Amino acid sequence: MSSDVTPTSKPVKSTGLHVGEAGPGVRKVDPILTADSVKRTFGGLTAVDVAHVEIPRGAITALIGPNGAGKTTFFNLLTGFDKPDEGSWEFDGRSLAHVPAYRVARMGLIRTFQLTKALGLLTVMDNMKLGAKGQGGENLFRSVLPFLWRKQEDEIEEKAVELLTRFKLDTKREDYAASLSGGQRKLLEMARALMSDPTLVMLDEPMAGVNPALTQSLLEHILDLKSQGMSVLFVEHDMHMVRHIADWVIVMAEGKIVAEGDPHTVMQDPAVIDAYLGAHHDTDIGIDTEHVEVLKELIDDEQ
């Protein structure tokens, strides 16, 4: 998806995030997430083969690449929704190997999906409440003694109302999630993710299928995550969006990290141009021609 909407904030520059020359696997000053030798194959196809990558803390990092590059598979591996054939990865200094997805979320790493996972037969408010962690009422013994969890329940609802108001969904609180538009479901999923007070938010194509009228709102909310002290890692195809809000860009192609750097430099990197334009590939890597044209346009703008 390509959008003409431009964030009101000025493009951000990446400063002081890495040690040494930018490139695949470059060390970060303060990484919040690291991965080493992570590999995932499906039959004879290698979907992910990442030697080393670090995600900087307190920054907005974009993970880009042509269709079939392995971005979503890599997301699934890092968040416990899939298991790698080999490799190790750490979040905030703690190993995530063999940690199930729900425990990864409790540790402060929350993700959203390209296809939203809002529970359609629950109300918007009930969806929000499900995002809160450590709920006393979930304990069998405490659940039969309301005075042990009622105060917490009120606090959870108050927090949910605050977030729904921020995301302009407060008037929908009693509506079923299934009745929301695609863009509103994206907003709900992001708002629900914040119920658990995450330190790293991973967004899988947050703009996919979103009405242009809500694009600006989503962009501003992503920028707000950083201003509130959270780190962000997102997959996105909209190059205009990447250039305007990302502090750091990581490029994947054929399962590997092929480039890293600030968005302005990365978009002129020969490895990136090669990955998107297929300059030296004999096979079709599935690149959307629309994305090729956007990349060409952005490169021309930089020159």
Mean pLDDT of all residues in 88-93: 94
Q: How confident is the model at residue 98 (pLDDT cuts 50, 70, 90)?
A: confident
Q: What is the pLDDT of residues 200-248, one digit of tens each?
A: 999 988 887 777 777 888 888 899 999 999 999 999 877 778 888 999 9
Instruction: List the domain boundaries for the chain.
Output: 18-118+181-302, 119-179
Q: What is the pLDDT of residues 14-25, one digit of tens each?
A: 458 999 888 899
Q: pTM for the complete prediction?
A: 0.79
pLDDT of residue 297: 54
Beta strands in 222-263 (DSSP E): 231-235, 248-253, 256-261
Please name the residues in contact with 261: beta carbons below 8 A apart, sequence gap of 6 or more. 14, 22, 23, 248, 249, 269
Tokens 């499900």 map to which residue? Answer: 130
pLDDT of residue 258: 93
Q: What is the pLDDT of residues 30-64, one digit of tens each?
A: 999 999 999 999 988 999 999 999 999 999 999 99
Q: What is the pLDDT of residues 119-141, one digit of tens each?
A: 778 999 999 998 887 555 455 55
Strand ranges across the sheet with 45-56: 45-56, 31-42, 86-91, 94-95
CATH topology of domain 18-118+181-302: Rossmann fold (3.40.50)
* 301: three-class secondary structure by DSSP: helix
Please name the residues in contact with 144: beta carbons below 8 A apart, sequence gap of 6 or more. none
Of residues 268 and 6, more confidently modeled: 268
pLDDT of residue 4: 46
